[in-house]
Each structure stands twice: as C-alpha cells, then as structure tokens.
Amino acid sequence: MLSKIRIDHLIRSTGILMIAFLANKILAIGRQIVIARAFGTGADYDAFVAAFRLPDILFLLISGGALGTAFIPILSERLTRRPETDPDGWRLTSGVLNTLLLVVTAIAVLMALLANPLVKWVVAPGFSPDTQALTANLMRLTLISTIIFSISSLLGAVLNTRQHFILPAIAPLMYNAGIMAGAFFLAPAFGVYGLIWGAILGSLGHLLIQVPGLFRYGIRYHLLLAWDDRDLWRIARLMGPRVLNIVVIQINFVVMFNLASRLNEGTVSALDYGWDLMQMPQTIIGSAIGIVLFPTLSELAARGDIATLRHTLAQTLRIILALSIPAMVGLIVLGRPIIQVMFERGEFGPDSTAAVYQSLQFWALALIAHSALEVVNRVFYAQKDTITPFLSSVVSMVINLGLALLLYRQLAAGGLALSNGVAVTVEVIIMLVIAHYRLNGVEAGAILKTLLLTLVAAGAMGLAVMAFTAFAPNLPPPLIAAVGGVLGIATYLGVGLIVGVKEIRLLPRLVGRSV
C-alpha cells in the first residue's frame, strides 16, 4: 500500500491543483462574461469557436495529451536509471522539444495554406461564405498559439515528472488573462480578431510562467534532435496509439460542431458554452486528480505492485463519484440562474440563455464519465498500454456518431451533448471491465456502494434546491444561484454523512493541506 507520506503528498498536491484550477475557472468565467457581452451567440463567436477546432486537434495529437502520456513514464524511467550519458534527462528533453517544434511548425504551415477548404468541407460546412472566410482567417492566427503551446506543454510534462505541479497549474490562468485582455482592449477596435490576438498573448504567458520552475531543476538545453536516442523512439511508439485515440475523440467533436453548424445560428456557440460550463467541475475534479496521480500510477506499474495499483484506482474513482455526482445535479437544477448571472447581458439575451441551458443539462449528464475517464485512461498509460484506451475510444466514437445523427435535429445542441455523454460512459465501462481482469478486480463492490449512496445524497440535494426554487421563483438569479448553491451543498454533505458516503470526510484534508 502507499505510505502515509505518499498519500499526504498526493492529497496536498491534489488540493493545490484543485484550488489552482478553481481560480482558473473563475477567471474563465470572467473571460466568458466579457466575450458574451460583446459577441453573444452570434456568427462572429461561432467563427471564433470553430477556428480552434483543427488547431486544438493538432495540439492534442502531437504535443498535448499524446506527448504527456508517453513522455512522463519514459522520462521518469530515465531519471530512475540515471544513465551516464543523460543523468538528468535534459538531452532527451531537448531532443523531444526540437523534434516536436519541427513537426508542429510544418503541419501548422500546411494547415494555414489549406485553411479555406478545411473550413468549407470539414469544420463548418453549414456556415455562410462570409463566416467561413472569417473562420479560416482566425484559424491561421490560432495556429501561432498552437506552436507556442507545443513548447509549453512539454515544459509542463517535465515539471510534472519531477512532482512539481504548481506552475503548470497556474499557466492556464495566464492564458485566460490574455484572452480577457484581448476582449477588453483589442476587441473594441479589432472585433473578434482581438480575441485571437489575446489568445496568442495568453499562450506566451502560459509558456513563460513555467520557465522559472525549469531553472530550479537546473535546465540544460541542447540544440540537437537526439534521433539516435532509443528512448525518443520509445516515446514516439507509445504516442502512436494515443495519437489515434485523440484522433477518434476529436472526430467526435468535429462531427458535433459540423452537425451544429447545420442548425440555427448560435447552436455552435450554445454547444460550446455548455461544454465550457461542464468542464468547470470536470477540470477541478477529474483533471486535477488525474494529473497528480499519473506519476504515482506509473511508479506502481513499474514496480509491478498490482494490489496497490488496484486499490489506488478504486479509491480514486470513489472520490471522483462523491464529487462529480453532486456537481452534475447542481448544474442541472441551478444551470439556468448560473447562466443568467454569468452571461445574460449585452448581446447575450434570454434566448441565448435558453439555448445554452438546454445544452448544459445534457452536458451535465456526461460529467461523471468525463471525470472518471481522466483516471481510468491513466491506469493503462501508466502500464505503457496505449492500445486499450484507443480501441475503447473507437467503440465510443461509433456510438457517438450514431446517436448524434439520430438526435441532433430533435434535441439540437442537447442531442449532441447527450450522444457524447452516453458514448464516453460506455468507453469508461469497457476499460473498467478490462482493468477488472488485468488487475484481479477493481473493488467493484465498494465503487458501486459509493455510487448508490452518493446518488441518494445528491438526489436529496436536487430535491431541496428544486423545492427552494419552486417556493421562491421570483427571486433574482444571483440570489437563486447563491442560496440554492449553499442549500444544495449543505444538504448533500448532511445526507451524505448520514447515509455513509465516507469520501466526504476527505474533503477537509484536500482543502486543509493545500492552504
């Protein structure tokens, strides 16, 4: 089992990341408020959202999730072995960085040259010609930030490998601050182009904020590609299935936004706003836990400690259930006043609120699966298995595409969100079944018990909030959101402790050890 010192370190690091991610999400709310006031859910913001689709895919394929899941286990292994040729891993890191820049820059230039046909035939065929042209121009500029993020993501992976999580967690704050600056100071003069230049400024901040951490660990940069390094090619081989996995995931999103572009104006924006709102608790819960846990899972897998790996997975999933289920209920029952408080001003009116809320209700149903996926995936990556997550994601893609085509005209953005939620849930279940056989069980009984007890407590929370909103329907939205939120949290904690949701007792440790 994990030592008490290691458990305390994980809890403290997770708490720090949760607080940093919460701060980032608060800033992201401010960013969305400013953007919503200026652009609402109109064609310009549709173009802004669509312009990020392919650059984001490029980032994720090469330098985002794919690189991190392959690079961290290999660099950790090198730091453990301490070979004479590269005891601190800086030669390998430099080789990966330089190769990464070469590949990403080449693909970015090609995408910029082909921006118009890519937008017309892949990203947003339903947009008007003028909006398609705007989307293509915005996409070319977005690729600049993609190249910058490629460097920044590798720096974050290096710091995470050394159990340093603070600066990589703070980096997104700089990105959101850049977009806000663009919305405040540049958008009035340059329109939606101001948001893109703000994103480029934010990506630079995302990179520079992590540099001091590298100096702490004695960074040494080498101007070489290191293609003679065996570990560099091991990273490339591990990235292969993960790249295909991300391709499958992003195909889902491309199809969703493709279908959304064929519906009423603003559907793309409503889908994106709903996704961002669901991502707030998902990032704080799933991403924070997954990032902190990954190096430990890799170490346990390398030692062959299957019993501890199994118990760590089960305990983590129970904590995720205890946090994500009430968050899901909260988004459903308080989503409308939350949207009104955050966005309903300027160009964002009641119709926009209704469209986003319809999207959010269905996105909320996907919160549990997306949060669990952050950990379940990493259990396989820690064992240097990137094939199983890929095959599971293929099944998920088929389900998502089928349901999306079936539901998008009936439920608009909500149907697209629902199809994604169902597909990701099936993906998580498939991998848990495989993990059950590979790890000699996943403590399914304990996980199911936590699921049922948490549903009882979260159900009581939902009923309490619904009773409050029915009793006082004419209160202003800020008051409904605030009082309803406090009432919901108090109800969940009270009922949860009564029925025996043991994971609730960990919450004070998460907060107390991170302040």
Give me the number of domains the chain comprises. Answer: 1
Interatomic CA distance for residues 206 and 488, integer angstroms: 35
- Residue 60: C-alpha distances to residues 38, 123, 147, 241 (Å): 29, 17, 12, 13
Interatomic CA distance for residues 316 and 375, integer angstroms: 8
Residue 402 falls inside a structural domain: no
Residues 6+ apart with CB under 8 A from 252: 396, 397, 400, 401, 420, 423
Residue 361 falls inside a structural domain: no
Task: Supply 329's token pair.
Answer: 């209920």
Could you tell me which of 462, 451, 503 has the C-alpha nearest to residue 485?
Answer: 462
Interatomic CA distance for residues 246 and 265, integer angstroms: 28
Q: Note whether 197 and 60 are within 8 A (CB).
A: no
Residue 331 falls inside a structural domain: no
CB atoms within 10 A of CB 497: 13
Place of tokens 């590298």: 214
pLDDT on residue 6: 58
pLDDT on residue 14: 76
pLDDT on residue 448: 95
pLDDT on residue 364: 95
pLDDT on residue 515: 39
pLDDT digits (tens, 9 = 90+) for 361-399: 999 999 999 999 999 999 998 888 888 999 999 999 999
Residue 125 falls inside a structural domain: yes
Helix/strand/coil percentages in the chain, nearest 5: 85, 0, 15
Place of tokens 């608790």: 281
Residue 27 falls inside a structural domain: yes
Parent domain of 226? 10-240
Residue 422 falls inside a structural domain: no
CB environment 408-426: b (16+ within 10 A), e (fewer):
beebbbbbbbbbbbbbbbb
Residue 222 falls inside a structural domain: yes
pLDDT digits (tens, 9 = 90+) for 126-155: 888 999 999 999 999 999 999 999 999 999
The phi, psi pair for 392, rounded to 5°, reads -65, -40
Residue 313 falls inside a structural domain: no
Q: Note whether 416 and 260 are within 8 A (CB).
A: yes
Counting as low any pLDDT under 70, the low residues of the chain are 1-11, 41, 63-66, 507-515
